[in-house]
Amino acid sequence: ALSSYAPHESWVWVRKLLVLLLFGALIPLIVNTTDRWNLLAQIVVLSSVGIPVLLSITKLLDLWVQLGLRPALSYRLMLNELGRANLIARTLVTGGPLLVAQMLASSQRVLRILMWILAGLALGVLVACRSWGAWIAVALSGGFLVVLLHGHCYRTWWQEHLSPIVRVLLATTVLAGLGLSLSLALWWAPRANIESFNGRLVHARIALSELADHPWLGVGPGHHYSQAQYAGDVDWLLDTQSTLDHPGRTIELIRLYATMHTHNLFTEIGVGTGLLGLGAFVWLLIELLRSGLKNRAGLYGTARTLATGCLVGIVASIGWGILDVMEISPPLFSFPSWALIGLLLTCLLYTSPSP
């Protein structure tokens, strides 16, 4: 913040970060019983999943009355009460895994049925958001869950039942499949939404330029003033029929995205705080993951299921950050992500059959 282009905005960002850090640190001190843990977990699920679903249903019914059912279902969900569609999707993919964990851990049949209904409605809202970042988050967190639950079996099968040649061929096939999937996504993305695709290219080019000129301490977090000096040199854009029909839109697009946050969690932190801040953030994530996995191994039953939900939700939040970040708060450091971290820390402190 001391080296920031806009110290006042950066200090506001720092104060928000400190408040959220304090929030995450206080949870283990306050939530010291199983009942309190379950209560806070339910609050997290209701605020991150229940409220968006309730508001979405209200919005859908309102559109249905005004426009009819088919136009209402074709509408991309935008709730002014919660922000744009991507932000709604973020809360769902972050809190959703804890909802599923609670559903699996619950012994009350009626409560489980209600949770299944809420999970189904949340999936419908997620589809209505049409957020690429959300589905990337779902894919990464789903892959993480598969490795977490079955990684040991796969590793044993890999080592004991496959010859070296088959291992190489299988690894090559998997990598080729991932590369093909990425290529298809990059081919399809500009055709699906050229403005969003080009906007992220603008962000990437500006962010890399800023980071190259200010590698260690960055330009200061919480503001976007320094982007303007790089916007005039941006030419990394793709053309489709939409841009060819409206060539002036490219100029408008650069002006728009030169005053917005970078649509990537790691570049946003790197540009704002430099490589030193980015390194500290990556260390925090690695340490949290390492400690979480280590202590989860000592948990059993309900505690282990709920700890898994917290871990998967944190991974989903990071996965969503590949294509977007929070702007109203420091990237990643927002509710419910910090609530999940606090709950996970509580599970780590009480490595018993129940959290």
Contact 285, 78 (CB under 8 A): no
Say what the pLDDT of residue 255 is: 67
* Average pLDDT value over all residues in the chain: 83
Average pLDDT rounded to a whole number, residues 111-115: 91
Place of tokens 């790089």: 230
Say what the pLDDT of residue 26 is: 78
Residues sharing a CB contact under 8 Å with residue 62, sequence separation 6 or more, in sequence order: none
Contact 224, 207 (CB under 8 A): no
Say what the pLDDT of residue 351 is: 46
Query: Among 305, 279, 303, 308, which residue's Cα sits nearest to residue 292?
Result: 308
d(CA 287, CA 353): 23
Q: How many Cβ atoms are within 10 Å of 284's Cβ, its own excluded?
A: 12
pLDDT band at 114, cuts 50/70/90?
very high
Query: Among 259, 266, 256, which residue's Cα sits nearest to residue 331?
Result: 266
Place of tokens 């969690």: 265
pLDDT band at 41, cuts 50/70/90?
confident
Tokens representing residue 335 in the block: 């509710």
Place of tokens 């998997």: 174
Say what the pLDDT of residue 167 is: 85
Judging by beta carbons within 10 Å of its beta carbon (0-12, 13-18, 19+), is residue 344 exposed, middle or buried?
buried
Say what the pLDDT of residue 355 is: 42
Task: List pLDDT tens digits, range 206-262.
Answer: 888 889 999 998 998 888 777 778 777 766 566 776 676 677 766 676 666 666 778
Say what the pLDDT of residue 204 is: 84
pTM attached to this predicted model: 0.88
Say what the pLDDT of residue 280 is: 93
Residues sharing a CB contact under 8 Å with residue 190, sequence separation 6 or more, in sequence order: 197, 198, 238, 240
Say what the pLDDT of residue 251 is: 67
Quote the DSSP letter at residue 83: B
Say what the pLDDT of residue 116 is: 93
d(CA 30, CA 350): 13
End-to-end CA distance of the chain: 38
Task: List pLDDT tens digits, range 261-285.
Answer: 788 999 999 999 999 999 999 999 9
Residues sharing a CB contact under 8 Å with residue 20, sequence separation 6 or more, in sequence order: 329, 330, 333, 334, 335, 338
> Bigger pLDDT: 98 or 9?
98
Strand partners, 79: 83
Say what the pLDDT of residue 316 is: 95
Strand stretches in 182-332, DSSP E:
none
Residues sharing a CB contact under 8 Å with residue 182, sequence separation 6 or more, in sequence order: none
Judging by beta carbons within 10 Å of its beta carbon (0-12, 13-18, 19+), is residue 251 exposed, middle or buried?
exposed
Say what the pLDDT of residue 94 is: 93
Average pLDDT rounded to a whole number, residues 19-48: 81
For the ranges 65-69, 134-138, 151-155, 330-334, the lowest mean pLDDT is seen at: 330-334
Q: Check whether 311 has a pLDDT greater than 90.
A: yes
pLDDT band at 30, cuts 50/70/90?
confident
Q: How many Cβ atoms are within 10 Å of 231's Cβ, its own excluded?
A: 16
Report CA 311 to chain centroid distance, whole Å: 12
Quote the DSSP letter at residue 260: S
d(CA 264, CA 5): 20
Judging by beta carbons within 10 Å of its beta carbon (0-12, 13-18, 19+), is residue 286 exposed, middle or buried?
exposed
> Bigger pLDDT: 73 or 248?
73
Q: How far is CA 84 from CA 47, 90, 94, 248, 298, in A?
A: 17, 10, 16, 25, 40
Q: Which of 15-19, 59-63, 100-104, 338-342 has the highest mean pLDDT?
A: 100-104
d(CA 78, CA 204): 25
d(CA 199, CA 335): 26
Task: List pLDDT tens digits, range 170-203.
Answer: 889 999 998 998 899 888 888 787 778 887 888 8
Query: Among 21, 24, 46, 96, which residue's Cα sits nearest to residue 348?
Result: 24
Supply φ then ψ for residue 55, to 5 degrees: -65, -35
Specify the 3-state DSSP secondary structure of 160. Answer: helix
Q: How far is CA 347 from CA 46, 78, 138, 299, in A?
A: 20, 35, 24, 8
Average pLDDT rounded to a whole number, residues 112-119: 93
Say what the pLDDT of residue 352 is: 47
